């Protein structure tokens, strides 16, 4: 389990452990506590005064589930133990010569997956779950259908291939309505299930008709930033600092008319500023604009023809977005907080450890226990010697860490699961980092247990010292 707080829909749920006076309302991001229903029972991780929803347990189906949008137009508590494999029936493989028994290759290291789900994708974000099928027996052959012809695939690897059962009707899963509750300038979306269960889904800015996530923006203020599709912003200056317009075509995603400015940091998810369409929307085609070049990280002249596109002028609405404090209050060692995630600019709902003065999220630690481990960017460990045995370790950030606060004092290194092991076998180690960042000519990297490879040129590394997991609050999973 890489991190409960980053993997679940519900995030922090504080019940019976938060402390706010009548004159001090809970933060707008605190959210509605999860509530068990007659069929769905809430499953929590608790510890240090924290109480956080992991999932619901469907007592009728004897399995965990989380609320997701289904293709029948209803929010439902769908099984948690699923693997997503595609966008619908058009790309299915089959395990029989009549192309009637659907099959899928889950990979050589596939664990015992109970279900396979498909999700409709339209290029404008994830769509609803379109089907759920049970995983049955290993497949001994694979076929593909082309019209009325069913053709065997002789070259395909059957390792990790399974036949699938019939599609499970969505009516077998608990349905819910999505209710919106005002919480200051930010509204909260809540799934209200037919059996009485409730779960927080997310936040929304009604005035912009847009869902939002909390982020720390370029000016240091924490705001609920509207969700926006990726579009081409046009800049008035050759440094790409002054966004003034957006280029739209007839195939553009159905946007909420809100656009995110990332400047030259195209690899980062964060927003430098948020823009809305100005009242005078149409712009003349002869204007000169500049655009970021993702490959060279430079700002270049925009010279694409405007045929079939509309140029719309923008206005900066950043200052009008709802802002929030990042830390709540509580009586235990852990108090609710908005904390930095490892792979995104979005703040996830976690905790602040008041004893150690660090933000944390519940994650499986190196001792096998669920603990509230300090947040920090994901890192890769290197060694100074060619045999990967030196006591001194070096940490270099990975993935989107170039967009994170590389001056942080902690880094997280997640290992596993090994081939064939369940996801919860993965563990996270936390390393305290030295203050100096430097480039090294060469280093060593443990590519697998007992295998050490030499790596030439590693930039931005820091001395890393592993922290004892016992320093951090242990959590326990309980079911209501």
CA distance linking residue 196 with residue 214, whole number of Å: 28
- The pLDDT tens digits for 16-42 are 333 333 344 567 777 778 899 999 999
- Tell me whether the omega of the peptide bond preceding residue 417 falls within 30 degrees of 0, making it cis: yes
Residue 323 β-bridge partners: 223
Structure-token pair, residue 254: 């159905």
Show the beta-strand stretches assigned E in 238-345.
Answer: 243-249, 258-261, 273-282, 290-293, 298-301, 309-316, 334-340
Question: Which residue has tokens 């890393």?
Answer: 464
pLDDT at 239: 87
- Number of Cβ within 10 Å of residue 406's Cβ equals 15
pLDDT at 404: 43
Exposed, middle or buried by CB within 10 Å (0-12, 13-18, 19+), for 257?
middle
Domain locations in the chain as residue ranges: 81-172, 222-320, 364-472
pLDDT at 4: 38
| Alpha-carbon distances, residue 367 vs 363, 370, 388, 423, 424 (angstroms) | 11, 9, 22, 16, 13
The number of CA neighbours under 13 Å toward the Cβ of 444 is 17
Torsion 10-15-17-20 (CA) sign: positive
pTM for the full predicted model: 0.81
- The pLDDT tens digits for 299-327 are 888 866 555 567 788 899 999 999 989 99
CA distance linking residue 84 with residue 117, whole number of Å: 5
Q: Please identify every stretch of the chain with a pLDDT value under 50, giving residue numbers as ranges.
A: 1-24, 87-90, 284, 399-407
Torsion region of 150: left, alpha or beta (phi above 0 gives left; psi -120 to 50 gives alpha): beta
The number of CA neighbours under 13 Å toward the Cβ of 110 is 22
pLDDT at 125: 62
């Amino acid at each position: 389990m890489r991190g409960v707080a980053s993997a679940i829909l519900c995030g922090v749920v504080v019940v019976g452990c938060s402390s706010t006076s009548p004159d001090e309302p809970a933060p707008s991001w605190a959210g509605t506590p999860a509530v068990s229903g007659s069929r769905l029972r809430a499953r929590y991780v608790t510890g240090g005064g924290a109480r956080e929803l992991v999932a619901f347990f469907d007592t009728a189906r004897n399995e965990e589930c989380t609320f997701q949008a289904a293709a029948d137009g209803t929010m439902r508590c769908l099984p948690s133990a699923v693997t997503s494999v595609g966008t619908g029936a058009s790309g299915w493989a089959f395990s029989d010569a009549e192309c009637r028994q659907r099959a899928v290759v889950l990979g050589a290291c596939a664990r015992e997956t109970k279900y396979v789900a498909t999700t409709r994708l339209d290029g404008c974000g994830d769509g609803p779950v379109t089907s759920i099928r049970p995983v049955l027996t290993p497949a001994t052959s694979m076929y593909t259908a082309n019209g009325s012809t069913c053709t065997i695939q002789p070259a395909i690897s059957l390792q990790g291939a399974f036949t699938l059962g019939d599609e499970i009707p969505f009516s077998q899963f608990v349905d819910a309505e999505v209710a919106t509750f005002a919480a200051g300038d930010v509204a909260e979306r809540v799934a209200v299930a037919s059996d009485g269960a409730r779960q927080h889904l997310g936040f929304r800015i009604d005035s912009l008709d847009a869902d939002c996530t909390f982020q720390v923006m370029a000016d240091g203020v924490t705001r609920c930033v509207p969700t926006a599709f990726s579009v081409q912003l046009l800049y008035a200056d050759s440094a790409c600092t002054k966004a003034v317009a957006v280029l739209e075509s007839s195939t553009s995603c159905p946007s909420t008319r809100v656009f995110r400015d990332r400047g030259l940091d195209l690899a980062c998810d964060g927003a430098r500023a948020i823009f809305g369409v100005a009242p005078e929307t149409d712009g003349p085609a002869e204007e000169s604009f500049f655009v970021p070049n993702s490959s060279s990280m430079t700002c270049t002249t925009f010279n694409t023809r405007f045929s079939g596109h509309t140029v719309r002028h923008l206005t900066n609405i950043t200052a009008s977005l709802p802002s929030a404090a990042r830390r709540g209050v509580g009586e235990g060692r852990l108090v609710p907080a908005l904390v930095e995630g490892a792979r995104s600019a979005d703040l996830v709902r976690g905790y602040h450890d008041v004893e150690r003065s660090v933000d944390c999220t519940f994650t499986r630690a190196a001792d096998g226990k669920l603990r509230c481990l300090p947040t920090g960017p994901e890192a890769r460990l290197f060694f100074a010697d060619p045999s990967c045995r030196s006591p001194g370790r070096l940490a270099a950030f990975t993935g989107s860490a170039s967009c994170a606060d590389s001056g942080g004092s902690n880094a997280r290194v997640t290992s596993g699961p090994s081939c064939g092991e369940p996801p919860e076998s993965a563990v996270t180690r936390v390393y305290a980092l030295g203050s100096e960042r430097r480039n090294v000519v060469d280093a060593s990297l443990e590519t697998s247990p007992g295998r050490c490879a030499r790596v030439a040129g590693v930039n931005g590394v820091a001395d890393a010292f592993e922290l004892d997991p016992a320093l951090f609050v242990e959590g326990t999973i309980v079911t209501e």
